[in-house]
Amino acid sequence: MRSIRRVVAAGVVGGAMVLTAACSSGGSGGGSAAKADIGAGAAPASAAAATPGSAAPKVSQAAVSIEPKTGSVDVAPTALKVGATGGKLTTVKVSDKSGKEVPGTIAADGLSWTPTAGLSVGTAYQVSAMAADANGVVAEADSSFTTLTPEVQAKAADNVDDNATYGVGMIVSVEFTKDVKNKDAVAKSISFETDNGTVVKGHWFGDRRLDFRPENYWKPGTKVTVHYRLKSVEIAPGVYGGSDRDEPFTIGRSQVSTVDAAAHQMTVVGDNGKTEQIDITSGSDDHPTWNGTMVVMSKEGTVRMQSSTLPGMTGAPYDLQVPHSMRLTTSGTYVHGNWWARNGVFGGDNVSHGCVGLKDAEGGGSSTTAGKFYDSSIVGDVVIVKNSIKKETLEPDNGLSGWNLGWSQW
Instruction: Render 120-135 in DSSP notation, one character per residue.
Output: PTT-EEEEEEEEE-TT
**Whether the Cβ atoms of residue 384 and residue 297 lie closer than 8 Å to each other:** no
**Whether the Cβ atoms of residue 288 and residue 389 lie closer than 8 Å to each other:** yes
What whole-number distance in Å separates Cα of residue 224 and Cα of residue 238? 32
Nearest alpha carbon to residue 322 among 307, 266, 279: 307
Catalytic residue among 264, 287, 324, 336: 336
What whole-number distance in Å separates Cα of residue 244 and Cα of residue 215? 26
Query: Has 336 been annotated as catalytic?
Result: yes
Q: Residue 98 corresponds to which amino acid?
A: S
What whole-number distance in Å separates Cα of residue 284 and Cα of residue 351? 5
What whole-number distance in Å separates Cα of residue 180 and Cα of residue 82? 29
Query: Has 353 been annotated as catalytic?
Result: no
Helix residue spans in 76-208 (DSSP H): 183-188
Q: Is the dihedral of CA 215, 217, 222, 223 positive or negative?
A: positive
Which residues are the active-site residues?
A: 336, 355
